Chain A
């Protein structure tokens, strides 16, 4: 019976690939017909799940690249379809009817809220958690609830946990498990965010405020509780020397292993660390880890660059204050001709509440020497008000109510490197538009 559903949904996914209809549809149909079909689909794979607020997609892509370097076949849901239906869809289209999957890897990016449903049927070898920040609170409530959902998801498994050791919120996650922590051993000295967010500022043991030897961003860093002595756990893998940051890449040393992370910013160092630690836990050797990370390309709007009439359009996915602040830092690190833009949508997948834009330090962008600012999305005027309050010159704003006018603005009013901040659905529909216009060749990865 399972196999018939799988074959039917494979055909369905063939048609949705051609005619559109969403990456989640075949999975939703299969789950309706056979609620526990994931058990069957996942059998034979060595599974690594990646969850957390920020960096899931990049971490998963880096991890998949590392595992491919080892010569193994790897299945992964890299395009951000990370709810149970998306994961099911991916495993259906990858399902080999005629051969065995023994020893193949499945890297499954998993939405924080859906992990516990996925782990009903899948018992990953490893679960990696990138970090916990406030994200789309209209969906998840408070960060403590996000943590609880992840804990519930992990508790259903006997997975080894790979955790961000600089995130105090993760330190007490299932302490009886086999756990590997990763983080910074030295201060990366990135310019600090001016907006200090409050998640996880208090000791999870005694409730006193933490002190920090250094912070990397927001509540991540080398923390300790001055009252009860609780401190950052011992790291299994750490950044052991001052990284060299540049607009395109970062040179780092992971406990003596020199790696060039092909994306800018401290947050991508965390993503590389998480992928390296998870790969290490799966038994991959350091050389393959280095090669895999360095071979990984920018994926799906995570600092993807699109060439348009001699201009470089950089698509940056933003979905919450912490990620957006780091993206702003990477824009500021660019010393060339720079323009900025912001596409703000408020669909379900973006978060219907756009209040978070006031927790982002857009004020820093005011000192850039930009010619124009392109603004669009379903909440374009909210974005315009925010940027004008942040001190950007509203005479230079170009409100683009559709992508044609955005493209026109890019070709006529903007120059050099254009950093376009996009929320999730804005990114998806813009990429489709650019694909149709021939600027992006590959729509999905």
Chain B
């Protein structure tokens, strides 16, 4: 079996080791005999929703984000939208998460249009929300690191999880991220999947099911992942 990961603009959106998620997916798939092809999507290239099994949309600095927004609108907005609507597996992190929404309102009141694929919106704050954080995803403690100035409001949409420690979407309503069909949005930047193998496997599983029908994944030896989780949950919880 083979899966194709489309990594959106890795040259521009590479702030905090987001590429780690590609490495983790590849590593976990390879141990089960599943090969992963990574397509580095760059400015000006076309997006084929049929040929893509996982989209990774990371975060970047303001200038790079504006280049990305412009390019998506010009070249791939419609196919990306239908990919997400059709249940394509997507992992959107920090800036990528914000950009999928309606807009971003700066502290000065300027409104920057998002892609509008999902209805959430973000307000820029003065103080950055930074630190290790933990949220509950269907009973599983997800451990991550957040670093964002934006406060995101998701309205009636389903959050990815409930905050147990840290800030999450906005530091007010206890929600973290957004879960829409097979799109997973989170503020947990960087190698989010490295310490949350359950979610990594869920992404692989959903992607395999979509392409090949029902499958089951053999368990892996996650000694280091489990030790990391134990150590950090003890420290931070």
A352 to B236, CA, bound (A): 13
Contact call A142/B228, Cβ cutoff below 8 A: no
> Chain B contacts of A394 at CB under 8 A?
224
Minimum CB–CB distance for A50 against chain B, Å: 26
Of all chain B residues, which has the CB nearest A197? B14
Contact call B64/A385, Cβ cutoff below 8 A: no
Interface 9-mer from B17-25, B82-90, B202-210 = B17-25
B189 touches A (CB below 8 Å) = yes
Of all chain B residues, which has the CB nearest A390? B23
Encode contact with B along A348-359: 1 for CB under 8 Å, 0 otherwise. Answer: 000011111111
> Chain B contacts of A355 at CB under 8 A?
16-17, 20, 145, 189-191
Encode contact with B along A374-408: 1 for CB under 8 Å, 0 otherwise. Answer: 00000101101110111000100001000000000
Known A137-B147, A394-B224: A359·B194 in contact at CB below 8 Å? no
Q: Between A and B, how many residue pairs show CB distances below 8 Å?
A: 94
A21 touches B (CB below 8 Å) = no
> Chain A contacts of B194 at CB under 8 A?
358, 382, 385-386, 389
Contact call A359/B17, Cβ cutoff below 8 A: yes
Contact call A381/B227, Cβ cutoff below 8 A: yes
Contact of B16 among A356, A384, A385, A388 (CB under 8 A): A356
Contact of B19 among A134, A141, A359, A390 (CB under 8 A): A359
Known A142-B62, A384-B224: A358·B15 in contact at CB below 8 Å? no
Minimum CB–CB distance for B184 against chain A, Å: 18
A198 touches B (CB below 8 Å) = yes
B63 touches A (CB below 8 Å) = yes
A356 to B15, CA, bound (A): 9
Count class of interface residues, chain B: 20 to 34
A289 to B208, CA, bound (A): 63
A138 touches B (CB below 8 Å) = yes
Of all chain A residues, which has the CB nearest B190? A355
Contact call A353/B20, Cβ cutoff below 8 A: no
A143 to B11, CA, bound (A): 16
Encode contact with A along B12-43: 1 for CB under 8 Å, 0 otherwise. Answer: 10111111100110010000000000000000
B132 touches A (CB below 8 Å) = yes
Encode contact with A along B221-237: 1 for CB under 8 Å, 0 otherwise. Answer: 00011011001000000
Contact of A202 among B20, B63, B131, B231 (CB under 8 A): B63
Contact of A352 among B132, B191, B231 (CB under 8 A): B132
Of all chain A residues, which has the CB nearest B192? A355
Contact call A358/B11, Cβ cutoff below 8 A: no
Contact of B147 among A138, A201, A388 (CB under 8 A): A138
Encode contact with B along A165-200: 1 for CB under 8 Å, 0 otherwise. Answer: 000000000000000000000000000000111100
B61 touches A (CB below 8 Å) = yes
> Chain B contacts of A134 at CB under 8 A?
15
Contact call B225/A385, Cβ cutoff below 8 A: yes
B181 touches A (CB below 8 Å) = no
B60 touches A (CB below 8 Å) = yes
Interface positions, chain B 52-68, Cβ under 8 Å from A, are 60-64
A355 to B225, CA, bound (A): 15
A226 touches B (CB below 8 Å) = no
Contact of A358 among B23, B128, B228 (CB under 8 A): B23
> Chain B contacts of A195 at CB under 8 A?
19
A144 touches B (CB below 8 Å) = yes
A227 to B111, CA, bound (A): 30
> Chain A contacts of B147 at CB under 8 A?
137-138, 353
Known A198-B12, A382-B195: A389·B24 in contact at CB below 8 Å? yes
A417 to B131, CA, bound (A): 37
A207 touches B (CB below 8 Å) = yes
**Majority DSSP secondary structure for residues of B touching A:** mixed
Residue of B23, B224, B227 with most chain A CB atoms under a 10 A cut-off: B224
Known A353-B190, A381-B228: A358·B17 in contact at CB below 8 Å? yes
Contact call A389/B27, Cβ cutoff below 8 A: yes
Interface positions, chain B 163-199, Cβ under 8 Å from A, are 189-191, 194-195
A64 to B145, CA, bound (A): 39
> Chain B contacts of A359 at CB under 8 A?
14, 16-17, 19
Minimum CB–CB distance for B192 against chain A, Å: 9
Contact of B224 among A198, A352, A388 (CB under 8 A): A388
Minimum CB–CB distance for B109 against chain A, Å: 21
B130 touches A (CB below 8 Å) = yes
Known A353-B147, A381-B227, A384-B224: A142·B61 in contact at CB below 8 Å? yes
A235 to B145, CA, bound (A): 41
Minimum CB–CB distance for A149 against chain B, Å: 15
Contact of A137 among B11, B16, B27 (CB under 8 A): B16
> Chain A contacts of B195 at CB under 8 A?
382, 385
Known A353-B145, A386-B194: A143·B61 in contact at CB below 8 Å? yes
> Chain A contacts of B14 at CB under 8 A?
196-198, 359
A357 to B15, CA, bound (A): 12
Minimum CB–CB distance for B224 against chain A, Å: 4
A382 to B131, CA, bound (A): 16
Minimum CB–CB distance for B15 against chain A, Å: 7
Encode contact with B along A397-424: 1 for CB under 8 Å, 0 otherwise. Answer: 0010000000000000000000000000
Encode contact with B along A123-152: 1 for CB under 8 Å, 0 otherwise. Answer: 000000000001001100111100000000
> Chain A contacts of B24 at CB under 8 A?
389
Minimum CB–CB distance for B181 against chain A, Å: 27
A384 to B27, CA, bound (A): 14
> Chain B contacts of A202 at CB under 8 A?
63-64
> Chain A contacts of B18 at CB under 8 A?
358
Known: A137-B147, A385-B225. 6 other contacts (CB 8 A): A207-B63, A356-B190, A359-B17, A384-B224, A385-B195, A385-B224
- By Cβ-Cβ distance, the 5 closest A-B pairs, closest first, are A355-B190, A358-B17, A358-B20, A381-B228, A355-B17
Write 30 A-B pairs (CB below 8 A) sorted by A numbering. A134-B15, A137-B15, A137-B147, A138-B147, A142-B62, A143-B61, A144-B61, A144-B62, A144-B63, A196-B11, A196-B14, A198-B14, A198-B15, A198-B64, A207-B63, A352-B131, A356-B17, A358-B17, A358-B191, A359-B14, A359-B16, A379-B228, A381-B227, A382-B195, A384-B228, A385-B225, A386-B20, A386-B191, A388-B224, A389-B27
